[in-house]
Amino acid sequence: MERILLVTDYPNLYQLKLFNLNNKIASHYFTVKSRVHHIFQKQIRDLILNDLPNLKYFSLKYVCVTEEYDSKILSLLRRMSNLEELTLYLTIQNRIKFLDGTEINNQILIHMPQLYKFIFYISTEIQLDHLVPYLSSDDIQQTFTNIGYDQVASILSCYSDSVRCHVFSLPFLFDSLRGPRCSSIET
């Protein structure tokens, strides 16, 4: 695969389907050390893999709209049944509900019984015209405490047409808080 991808530039390549990919090969291609890493990071928008039952460690940084999160991200994460460490940096736009601890547990974590390390930053945005009575920052943190994650913080940011909820594990291990409306809040 590497030889094919490095032969020439593929400016219209945005989707890639990989089958029978073992852990060693996957870790080689998706790390910074790989010569084709830049293609996966900058160009591929749609990556389709085989089931990932043997994958132990996974990290994902993604900005998406609700449909992409619900149809692509969730289905990908649910196939990682033996995952031990998960790092997520997600920015999700156009939701009708904040992504809180209860939903993360019910949609993702229950599918990963071997998971012992979960590092995350998740930012969700709700348009004011879709806003139902929303939880306070303390209420959102409590949903994580309820599922066993005590070291969590959250920030609510209000804009003229939307509300954004940033929730993250502590200590904060990322470079910054970002979202479509946030230029950057450095840490």
User: Where are the domains positioned within the chain?
Assistant: 1-50, 52-186
Token readout for 55 is 């994958």
- What are the tens digits of pLDDT across the range 57-106? 888 888 777 778 888 888 888 888 889 999 999 988 888 888 889 999 99
Sort 14 into a burial class: Cβ within 10 Å, 0-12 / 13-18 / 19+.
exposed
> Is residue 85 a contact partner of residue 139, using CB atoms and an 8 Å limit?
no
- Predicted TM-score (pTM) of the model is 0.70
Lowest mean pLDDT among 10-24, 53-67, 70-84, 111-125: 10-24
Q: For the chain, what is the total number of helices (H) and then of strands (E)?
A: 7, 9
The b-or-e profile of 80-101 (16+ CB within 10 A means b, else e) is beebeebbbbbbbbbbeebbbb
